[in-house]
Amino acid sequence: MSALDMSMAPSLGYRRPRIVPDSRAEFSSRAAWQHRYIRALTVTDSLIVVGAVSAAQWLRFGAAPTAVDARELGQFSYTGLSIGVVVAWLATLQIFRTRSASVIGSGPEEYRRILVSAMRLFGVIAIVSLLLRLDIARLYLAFAFPVGLLALLLSRWLWRGVIVRRRTRGECLTSVLVVGSKDAGAELARNFERGSADGFRVVGVCVPGFLRRADESIAVDGRDIPLLGGETSVVEALELVGADTVAVTATEHLGSDGIRALAWDLESRDVDLVVAPSIVDVSGPRLSMRPVAGQPLIRVERPKYHGAQRFAKSSFDVIFASLILVAIAPVLLVAAVAVKISSPGPVLYRAERMGLDGKPFPMLKFRSMVQNADSQVASLMAQNDGAGVLFKMRDDPRVTPVGRFLRRYSIDELPQFVNVLRREMSVVGPRPPLRREVEAYDGTVSRRLLVKPGITGLWQVSGRSDLSWEETVRLDLSYVDNWSLMGDVLIVGKTLKAVLASDGAY
């Protein structure tokens, strides 16, 4: 049994007590897999950049040596230029920390850094070419940069898939020690479980003012997380569980002196220190740091529903919906014929939904049920599998055989892109609610009506019909408060995966 030698904690600051562990939980260190992963990324990035630049030179000039005409420097070979571009590109990837341990395998931030680094390098080459009057072939650059950039992004996406699969098996994880209340530790653990692809896992909690007793823990989703003492026991608790990161939620208990002392203690242990503010469902774009009187303050921007962002979202909706409708025209035709010949009734079903600011509109779908299906809802309510005010049935007798296939792959929802062009819906947004659902909303849930409902959304890529009502509401409100164009693009990408897997569709 572990013994704690706890002395009276000071009123302010951080002091280490003595912990004598009798056993150590086995958690794999992140250092080993991160180093291997970064080496693999370095090799892959190098091969891609060399391949893209070499292919561009060969495509434009073939195997014959060709010289670049530089009025200020004379002539030099394209081979030398290609070597320079490769070196500069690889250096730029390093300068923008695209392989930093803080972003590898994270997804959006990793892709953003690769994109920004390529754009900056291209801009620098364009400026240098102008200043030195380099007559660089346009096709050479027009091939090398787009192809190299897309290949780098695809490579990182594939590598992320590898690491996500390993994380689902309990490998390549970052173990976290939480310093905060029991509730804060449990909530952080639940959030990490929902975002399992990010690879964070809470392995222990230090509760301010807590004196550790044997075998005490908190249960989160069937897993026991040990309580390892108070805020003065952090360093010894790290030795006990082998955590890679310390997440502090109890900043008021440690104080500025305590957090600073803790940061100093962690420097020599290769352990990250993060502060998890008690802000729920507020994304990075709305958060900014501003030092005031020597104190770092986190500013939370108000959600933006108007102006340039709304114009960008509307433009994206119109362009995306138009392209999709043209691309899927054959699918729409086949689906319409199948619905028409499989059962009597209209091809399209117009379902009333509540849109922006609670205004009703007819949402278009391919008819997947028998005629007059709405009149049977009351008799089937006892078999409702839906959550909250939703009505759903896994084996709904009203669904036709063709309709079941259309629903399984979300083909029945494709006509909603016409609703997008009519500006009644958005490509991405909260789930389109029924009138009776809206009438049952409280003041919090009604915030879903601040933006247009979407064909897809966070609810679509997070479980669809398998979600509880509370989780559906949480995801919709999170989207409303944090929506952005880049977020919409990522959700559209995840939607394709969810639809092909038929996750939660019935």
How many structural domains is the chain composed of?
3
What three-state secondary structure class fits 74?
A: strand
pLDDT band at 10 (very low <50, low <70, confident <90, very high): very low
Q: Are residues 127 and 218 in the same domain?
A: no
**10 lies in the same domain as 85:** no
- Listed in sequence order, the residues at least 6 apart from 497 whose beta carbon sits closer than 8 Å to its beta carbon are 461
Q: How would residue 311 be classed by pLDDT, with cut points 50, 70 and 90?
A: confident
CATH number at residue 255: 3.40.50
Check: CB of residue 377 under 8 Å from CB of residue 393: no
- DSSP string covering 255-290: HHHHHHHHHHHHHTTT-EEEE--S--S--GGGEEEE
For residue range 251-264, list pLDDT tens digits in order: 767 777 777 888 88
Range of the domain at 21: 3-27+173-278
Residue 295 in domain: no
Shared domain for 74 and 159, answered yes or no, is yes
Report the percentage of the chain scoring pLDDT > 90: 20
Q: Which domain-ending residue is among 223, 256, 278?
A: 278
186 found inside a domain: yes
Q: Determine the Cα angle at 317 with ends 449 and 497, to 5°.
A: 90
Q: Give CA–CA dist 351/413, Å, rounded.
A: 11
Q: Please report the beta strands in 106-209, taking only residues with DSSP state E, as ranges in sequence order.
A: 134-135, 174-179, 200-206
Point out the domain boundary residue: 113, 133, 168.
168
User: In this structure, is residue 71 part of a structural domain?
Assistant: yes
Beta bridge partners of 245: 176, 272
SS3 call for 419: helix
pLDDT at residue number 384: 57
- CA dist 496 and 488 (Å) reads 13
C-alpha–C-alpha distance, residues 128 and 421, integer Å: 44
Q: Is residue 87 part of a domain?
A: yes
The pLDDT, as a whole number, for residue 329 is: 94
Asked if 35 and 20 sit in the same domain, the reply is no
Within a domain: residue 302? Answer: no
Residues 78 and 96 in one domain: yes
Spatial contact of 457 and 499, defined as CB atoms under 8 Å apart: no
The rounded distance, in Å, linking the Cα atoms of 94 and 100 is 9
The tens digit of pLDDT for each residue in 133-181 reads 776 777 788 888 999 999 999 999 899 888 888 888 878 888 888 888 8
Residue 209 is predicted with a pLDDT of 77
Residues 262 and 341 in one domain: no
462 contacts: CB under 8 Å, gap ≥ 6: 471, 475
Q: Are residues 118 and 158 in the same domain?
A: yes
pLDDT digits (tens, 9 = 90+) for 50-80: 999 999 888 877 766 555 554 544 555 777 7
Q: Are residues 103 and 248 in the same domain?
A: no
CB 391 within 8 A of CB 490: no
Q: Can you read off the two tokens belonging to residue 327?
A: 């691309």
